Structure 1
Amino acid sequence: MPVALLALAIGAFGIGTTEFVMMGVLPQAAADFGVDIPTAGYLISAYALGVVVGAPLLTAVAVRLPRKTMLLAMMGLFTLGNALFALSPNQEFGVAFRFLAGLPHGAFFGAGAVVASSLVGPGQRAKAVSLMFLGLTLANVIGVPLGTLLGQQVGWRATFGVVAVIGLVAAAAIWKLVPHQGRPADASLRGELGAFKRPQVHLALAIVTFGLGGVFACLSYITPMLTDVAGYSPSNVTLLLSLAGVGMTIGNLLGGRLADRALMPGLYAALLSLACVLGIFTITAQGKVGAAITIFFVGVAGFMIGPMMQARIMEKAGGTPSLVSAAVQSAFNIANSIGAYLGGLVIAGGLGLVAPNWVGALLAVFGLSLAIVSGTLDRREAKAERRELAMAS
């Protein structure tokens, strides 16, 4: 695989770390800013909002830029946002700078996925994309636990200062290792927006939103499940989240390989497996060993979906993949919000701390039904093309 993928993975590692480490250092940031935990939670929401807004907006603005230039610009903005956040004088500035740091997230992954797939042959494109996203999953195994530990021992500002340094390293690696990317041929905002006229593109985004919403319905409430239901001490939760991160890493690599060999069957299998694992977790969450094993498989099944859907949506976008590729990241964060909201709703309704797993299983089943509809449309389109060729001959 091309060494340029390492540069993209470093950028993905920094982005994954800054997105999720905020949850680990939230108490320290709240105490520093003199606000309560719910108010400090806006620091998490502001980043997610930045992703949703920035992914389509920045991609649209920079649609005619060479993709290497786009990657460098996004990593520069990411570095600036995190450096400013580390220096925030109060909660209000903190929220603004977290929003700024989130803006380049989706645009970076959108451009990065296109660049990664362009560096290899047709049979290895999804694998190449999954190697870029490997940085994102490794952030959950290494970056988030170490960043949380650093925040607890030295202070949360040190954590985001280090993230800003990672951004600089990623920018330097992209400058050095990623080959020059010419200006996209015939690139235009109208052409990129035209991809959204295709029903399969909307189906792909919906599969991401609801299928991965199932993962986040579970993971948003994983800490109280592990402590209050499974009986783990809070000090063990970080290790268990790292175990989930290992599962995510394996799932990401498996998803990339399956996408190159049998995309739709692999997607059906991943969504069905996710629904089953989440359903099983409602039972295994009652014990320590069962909970640890199941959380690993939640990571595997859930993160097999990502590279498959990235490959799927780029395929369905045709020759204008940048904007829809970035839109996947918006869908990913909407999935996070939907999963967390619905999971909280069933807990507030008195259904118990494991109830979000049932919500997640139902969301995964709905995502599977959408994938089946998408696959059926594929077969109909292929049949129509064969009929037209037969008539022409």
Structure 2
Amino acid sequence: MPLLVYVLGLAVFAQGTSEFMLSGLVNGIADDLSVSVGAAVSLTSAYALGMILGAPVMAALSARWPRRRALAGFLAVFMAVHVVGAVTNDFAVLFGTRIVAAIVNAGFLAIAMSAASAVVPPAGQARAMAVLLAGVTLSCAAGVPAGALLGDLAGWRSVFWAVAGLCVPALLLVLRSAPADAAGRGEVSVRGELRALRSGELRTSLLLGAVVNGATFATFACLGVVATDVADLGESVVPGLLAAFGVGAFVGVTAAGRYGDGRLGRGLLVAMCVLPLGWAMLAATAAHPGPLFAMTVVQGCLSFGVGSALVQRVMHVAHKAPALGGAFATVGLNVGAFLGPLLAGPATEATDDYRTAVWVSAGAAALAVPIALAAFRTRDAAERKEARA
């Protein structure tokens, strides 16, 4: 695997830590800035909104830029807005920095996914995607719990400073190892690549990614509060719970990278059918620490494994859009990451029970099952027809 893929994975680790770290900082932000827990949770949706807006726009604007300049520029802006977030006392400013950070994160990720795919042979593309997504899952397993612990010891602002510092080595390595030329991206026809969205398979894959990721983030955004308010655990336990989710996520992404092939196969279909049952079991046992930790690992594995396989599916069916394929995948996942917490926040405030967020996850994941079954039957019928021809 080329060094560039691992360098990009390091940068994705820094960005993933930022994206997910709020799960362990919600209470601190709410208390310090005098806002409700629901408002603090909405910062997760703000980030997802920025990713939705940023992925296609940034990928299109940067389609003719040299990869090194684009990747380094996005990462430098990402670092700067975290400094602003660390010093602000205005919730609206913090909300805005999350959107800007997400926009440049989306631009970076879209280019990184296409760059990683371009430097490996077709047989290695699933593994390259797994390395990038491993940066995300490692941020869940290590970066986010460490951030929660740091936030508990030194306040939530210290975590923003830490993310900014983490970007420095990633930026230096990108400047050193990323290609300086456009690597053929100057020939990209954005309008032509957007025609790939006419594919029914692509639209279905994007819809499944959105629904599955919505289920994931409805719970993940509230996971720290579930631990403290439902299971009656101390704040010091939250980093361990987030690490448990991250470990499961890492296992799921690794398995998807090893066994995934971009197809909507029976294994992926079975995992999607099990996913809502797992969320329902987590909701039912969330008040008990042992089952809470066990099901958090299981759901981290299932949700990120399925999500990673769906990213591979999007990249596979969007092969006619090599520059914007990563942007399509980013948008699909982050539509869910935006809507999940947006639905979970008001639902939990209405019921005054944070387990409601987990039930929202169960319901969303259940919606994905008939969509996946219909897509599987359509693909299976098409393959049988092709075989008879």
TM-score of the superposition, structure 2-length normalised?
0.88
Give the structure 1 partner of residue 134 of structure 2: 134
Report the identity percentage: 28
Number of the residue aligned with 1:359: 360
Superposed counterparts of 1:285-324, under 5 Å? 285-324=286-325
- Alignment size in residue pairs: 388
Distance 1:386 1:145 in 2: 50
1:12-161 equivalences in 2 (<5 Å): 12-29=12-29, 33=33, 40=40, 43-88=43-88, 90-161=90-161
After the TM superposition, which residues 217-366 of structure 1 pair with which residues of structure 2 at under 5 Å, given as runs?
Answer: 217-260=218-261, 264-344=265-345, 347=348, 350=351, 353-366=354-367
Q: Are 1:164 and 2:164 an aligned pair? A: yes
SS in 1 for 2:324: helix
Q: Tell me how far 1:361 sits from its aligned partner.
A: 2.6
2:45–2:342 CA contact under 8 A, matched in 1? no
2:83, 2:161 within 8 Å by CA — same for their partners in 1? Answer: yes
The structural deviation recorded for 1:57 is: 1.2
1:322-349 CA-to-partner distances (Å, cap 9, x unmatched) read: 3242232233232123333444565456
* Structural mapping, 1:2-13, within 5 Å: 2-13=2-13
What is the deviation of 1:382?
Answer: 3.5
Over the residues paired in the alignment, what is the CA RMSD in angstroms?
2.8
- Quick one: distance in 1 between partners of 2:27 and 2:219? 22
Q: Decide whether aligned partners of structure 1 residues 46 and 165 sit closer, same or farther in structure 2, where only a CA change above 3 A counts.
A: same
- Secondary structure, aligned partner of 1:310: helix
* 1:193-227 deviation digits (Å, cap 9, x = unpaired): 11111111111110011122222233333334334
Q: Is the 8 A contact 1:255 1:266 kept in 2?
A: no
User: Is the contact between residue 285 and residue 354 of structure 1 (CA under 8 Å) also seen in structure 2?
Assistant: yes
The letter of the residue matching 1:10 is L
- Determine if contact 1:10/1:166 at 8 Å carries over to the other structure: no
DSSP 3-state at the match of 1:203: helix
Runs of 4 or more, structure 1, over 6 Å off, are none
Helix, strand or coil: the match of 1:321?
Answer: coil
**Which deviates the most, 353-362 or 1-10?**
353-362
Instruction: Give the letter for the 1:176 counterpart.
Output: R
In structure 2, runs of 5+ residues without a counterpart are: none
Cα distance in 1, alignment partners of residues 284 and 86 from structure 2: 41
CA contact (8 A) 2:319 2:325 kept: no
Residues 67 and 111, structure 2, Cα contact 8 Å, conserved in 1: yes
Equivalent position amino acid for 2:373 in 1? I
Q: What one-letter code is carried by the residue in structure 2 that aligns with 1:373?
A: A
User: Against the structure 1 CA distance between its residues 350 and 21, is the aligned structure 2 distance closer, same or farther, given a 3 Å change threshold?
Assistant: closer
Q: Distance in 2 between matches of 1:350 and 1:357?
A: 13
Q: Which amino acid aligns with 1:216?
A: F
The C-alpha deviation readout for 1:248-285, integer Å capped at 9, x for no partner, is 11111111112138652232132123122123223333
Gap change, CA 1:239 and 1:95, over 3 Å in 2: same
User: For residues 146 and 368 of structure 2, what CA distance do their matches in structure 1 show?
Assistant: 34
- When residues 34 and 52 of structure 1 are mapped into structure 2, their CA distance, relative to the original with a 3 A threshold, is same
Q: Which moved more, 1:119-128 or 1:62-71?
A: 62-71
State the distance in 2 between where 1:353 and 1:166 align: 32
Distance 1:352 1:37 in 2: 12
1:238/1:162 CA distance change after superposition, 3 Å? closer
Q: Secondary structure at the match of 1:63?
A: coil
The residue aligned with 2:194 is: 193
Structure 2 counterpart SS, 1:64: coil
Distance 2:35 2:288 in 1: 36
Is the CA contact (8 Å cut-off) linking 2:33 and 2:91 kept in structure 1? yes
TM-superposed deviation, 1:96: 2.6
AA at the equivalent of 1:163: V
Partner SS for 2:185? coil
Conservation of the 8 A alpha-carbon contact between 1:267 and 1:371: no
Q: Taking structure 1 as reference, are residues 45 and 87 closer, same or farther at Cα in structure 2, changes over 3 Å only? A: same
Gaps spanning 5+ residues in structure 1: where? none
